Amino acid sequence: MRCWRHTCGGGHRTRASTTSNGFKFHFSSMCRGHLISDKSRLVDELTRTIRDVHNFPKPGIVFKDVTPVLLDVELFRQAMKAMAEPYRDARITRVVSIESRGFLFGAPIALELGAGVVPIRKPGKLPAATQRVEYALEYGSDALEMHHDAVQAGDRVLVVDDVLATGGTANAAAQLVAGTGAAVIGFTFLIELDFLKGRQRLQGRRVEALLHYA
């Protein structure tokens, strides 16, 4: 089952549903101005374009491949506008994007919001002095690094990635940013896998996602 919901400033609400791949799916959005008429078409095009890849990266996993969205210029543009829209008035000064697919979305969202873009990378990838946070995985640990001068106290930061799954990496990115004294205003994702309960690890911060799979 999948369903989507469309909500606009004038109280107009529409719902629809269909079935696909055993997932529950819903879409919700707040609309402004001329974007109102585009939202229902946007969700339809995104769900049709995102590709299921079975048994990747390991057997039993159905991977949501967003790369076909990147090939459609207008669809990609509208998706980036929609991901930025909830934070349009939040005075964001830095958009932090998480390696690696987060880079694809972080840069255009930063341009939408008039903010600088900051890459957060795995250890050893950034050329200048960095600060680092380590975080636990189900088995073992991992780490993220950010240039020490990329985010400063007083910055208002939006964290961007393609998918919110278990939330471990996004939470680590927020910890790295918070360690500078900057404010993490929220997160925005193209997809949220609700059944993995990732937003519970994000400490009550604002989380926005265009597409939800339950």
Q: Where are the beta strands (DSSP E) in the chain?
A: 2-7, 13-18, 25-27, 51-54, 62-65, 94-98, 116-120, 130-136, 141-147, 156-164, 183-193, 206-213
Residue whose structure tokens are 């707040």: 30
Tell me the three-class secondary structure of 92-105, residue by residue: CCEEEEECCHHHHH
Please confirm, yes or no, whether 91 is among the known catalytic residues: no
Do 204 and 178 contact (CB within 8 A), yes or no? no
* Number of H-type helices and E-type strands within the chain: 5, 12
Nearest CA to 200 among 162, 165, 161? 165
- Active-site residue (options: 101, 201, 205, 206): 101
Using CB atoms within 10 A of its CB, is residue 135 exposed (0-12), middle (13-18) or buried (19+)? middle
Do 210 and 46 contact (CB within 8 A), yes or no? yes
Please confirm, yes or no, whether 138 is among the known catalytic residues: yes
- The residues annotated as belonging to the active site are 101, 138
